[in-house]
Amino acid sequence: MPYEEILDQLPYTEPFLFVDGLNSVSDDGTEGFYTFPVDAYFYEGHFKNHPVTPGVLLTECCAQIGLVCLGIFLLKDDDKGYGNLLVAMSSAEMEYLAPVFPGEKVTVTSEKVYFRFNKLKCQVRMFNAQKELVCKGTISGMIKKNSSEQ
């Protein structure tokens, strides 16, 4: 499955899309990247005169690249075809180690722990451009294709 096809199936759009591209995808994990825009709306209030990317958005970026993109790839042979993607995060345990500032490019890697009964669990890591570990953790979610169109 070409990476563009995975990105096209993501159930997100701007301003809540936190994936610019994918470097690799396999049955065991993903690697992708995103650059947080300097003018993103959330920097206006987080923090006053010293903008930092909120941890919840670092987690979301890890989930979109490490969990959802991998889930789309793993469902490539699903007999329901390319219906609407249904996604629900069920748990996240993250540790934040360094700040991400406006304009920074991050790389997310994920390693599949398991995928069964439409539940995907991954170990994720985010690195900045200097290859320093920004955050790491475990993210789980339910992901499946819904072939019924409404």
- Give me the mean pLDDT over the 16-45 stretch: 97
For the chain, what percent of residues have pLDDT higher than 70?
A: 93
Catalytic residues: 46
What type of residue is 107? T
Per residue in 54-90, pLDDT (tens digit) is 999 999 999 999 999 999 999 987 655 445 778 888 9
β-pair partners for 94? 137
Nearest to 104 by CA among 126, 84, 74, 129: 129
Candidates 102, 86, 96, 124; CA nearest to 42 is 102
**For 21-46, b where at least 16 C-beta lie within 10 A, e where not — what string?**
ebeebeeebbbbbbebeeeeeebeee
Per-residue pLDDT at 150: 44
Name the average pLDDT for the chain: 92
Token pair of 89 as six digits: 């995060």
pLDDT for the residue numbered 35: 98
**Of the candidate ranges 15-24, 31-40, 79-88, the one whose mean pLDDT is the lowest:** 79-88
- Which CATH architecture does the domain made up of 3-146 adopt? Roll (3.10)
